[in-house]
Structure 1
């Protein structure tokens, strides 16, 4: 376990919120200050960021044994020497699940699963943001609104592997590109010419990638890092936020109506979690979650969970 060298926030001024201990669990090796530091740059939340990677402490032979085999679904991740490796999605998911399950109750204020590609729930005694669940919920909410959604995956083989039953009823198309590869990103946009909204479906994509795709396509572009950062912000704010970088004044004004617990419920609803799942994470009853959820919908002036999710996405994606 390590602290991200760039993610530890400065000492909070008197009267400000205390530091929040946030554990970032990634598929590869730490440190991932490039990724974590970027997500935390614009958060007005004081965070002590810690990291653990599923490949930390393994020998080269042990890492090689986790590489994707014929017939297995794949996921790409990064090693400490900044090289990429394609590993087995099911086997790395099992390894990450064991790590998350071993965290002690209240050991961290938040656990963040830093992967868009692991289609499973992670049992943890700490509140958890699952990047894949958050992105899946975002895509469904956009597609359910009638928009044709184009997904850009980091690996070509992930197009054929894309199997999300919840997306079956909607207009979804996919292409691929590596983060930072302008040529491949441009090619992906040709494949996704009919899409109305583009989703950069990996936390490896950067804000520079988002801006390039948005400029080239002239379409709204959803960035996984922003979705995750938004969830972190909403879950950790315990006092009324005064300013919210990157958030529209209208959305910020509505957030001010919510209690700290309602903001937590808002974030988990935006991740697509059920009342029972939210109750488990927050240590409250499903009935209490239902009450909070109703209050959130009323105060945010929306009539459905999909509308709420679209509002959260729009707030963080100009």
Structure 2
């Protein structure tokens, strides 16, 4: 029997994250006789109109790019999103899950009392830091142009990474983003919204290893099953 039988996937947007969770579960559960069950929870679930608008990022605020249930992209305030995220995680902590998987590579959270948490940001950043120690030019692809200037304040990598933007939700910009990191010798697609298909698109233009955040995180979860 699997040691991890119940997973809570938590997004900073709205559920269901049909663009992330099925792909991750296929990698997590590949070859297993007993698949873990899972539920999804979203910071913005059930919000619309003015309540949803209250989470949108204002000028000068650090921001997240995430997805609504409709598939629409929303740029949310990092501060207000993380405040509600911690409240949501505290609620989930009492529901008997074996593990919580955060579907964002930019969040900072409070420790939970009862449940192991897979923090995507720490896993991705630690992996990149280890691999990039001897890297001549690290490339980082982010969802939003406004996040390019913020990156150095939120993530610390050695050297001077080449940081470009390409939204996983708008359906455009991936080719341009690939051109921006074409000269790098290691590239990370630093958002859980980037898909395996987008990874293939980047790899066609970049002659270097490319890390897909959701695949890095799924690999860690699989080791725990």
TM-score (norm 2): 0.89
CA drift of 1:165 comes to 6.6
Of 102, 108, 111, which aligns to 1:123? Answer: 111
Give the match for residue 163 of structure 1: 152
* Aligned residue in 2 for 1:303: none
Alpha-carbon distance, 1:108 to partner: 0.6
| Cα distance change, pair 166–69 in 1 and its aligned pair in 2 (3 A) | closer
**Structure 1 residue 31 and structure 2 residue 16: aligned?**
yes
Unaligned runs of 5+ in 2: none
Q: How many Å apart are 1:103 and its aligned residue?
A: 2.9
Tell me if 1:86 matches 2:75. yes
Q: C-alpha offsets along residues 152-194 of structure 1, whole Å, 9 cap, x if unaligned?
A: 0011111011124762532411001122778622222322233
Instruction: Pick closer, same or farther for the CA change 1:145–1:182 going to 2, 3 Å.
Output: farther
* SS of equivalent residue, structure 2 residue 27: coil
**Map 1:1-318 → 2, pairs under 5 A:** 16-17=1-2, 20-44=5-29, 45=32, 46-104=35-93, 107-118=96-107, 120-124=108-112, 125-164=114-153, 167-179=156-168, 184-236=173-225
RMSD: 2.1
Distance 1:17 1:65 in 2: 41
Aligned residue for 2:53, secondary structure, equals helix
* 2:55–2:81 Cα contact (<8 Å) kept: yes
3-state SS of paired residue (2:22): helix
Residues 119-141 of structure 1, C-alpha deviation per residue, up to 9 Å, x if partnerless?
A: x1332120110111111112211
Are the structure 2 counterparts of residues 181 and 82 from structure 1 closer, same or farther at C-alpha, using a change threshold of 3 Å? closer
Between the aligned partners of 2:51 and 2:95, the Cα distance in structure 1 is 31
Say if 2:72 and 2:169, in contact at 8 Å, map to a contact too. Answer: no
String of CA shifts for 1:256-309, please: whole Å, max 9, x gaps: xxxxxxxxxxxxxxxxxxxxxxxxxxxxxxxxxxxxxxxxxxxxxxxxxxxxxx
Task: Verify the 8 A CA contact 1:179 1:205 in the aligned structure 2.
Answer: yes
For residues 172 and 71 of structure 2, the distance between their equivalents in structure 1, rounded to whole angstroms, comes to: 21
Quote the Cα distance in structure 2 between the aligned partners of 1:56 and 1:183.
26
**Structure with greater helix percent:** 1
Q: Which moves more between the two structures, 177-186 or 138-147?
A: 177-186
How many angstroms apart in 2 are the aligned matches of 1:181 and 1:65? 22
| Structure 1 spans left out of the alignment, 5+ residues | 1-15, 237-318
Instruction: Tell me, yes or no, if the aligned pair for 2:185 and 2:207 is still in contact at 8 Å.
Output: no
- Deviation, structure 1 residue 106: 7.2
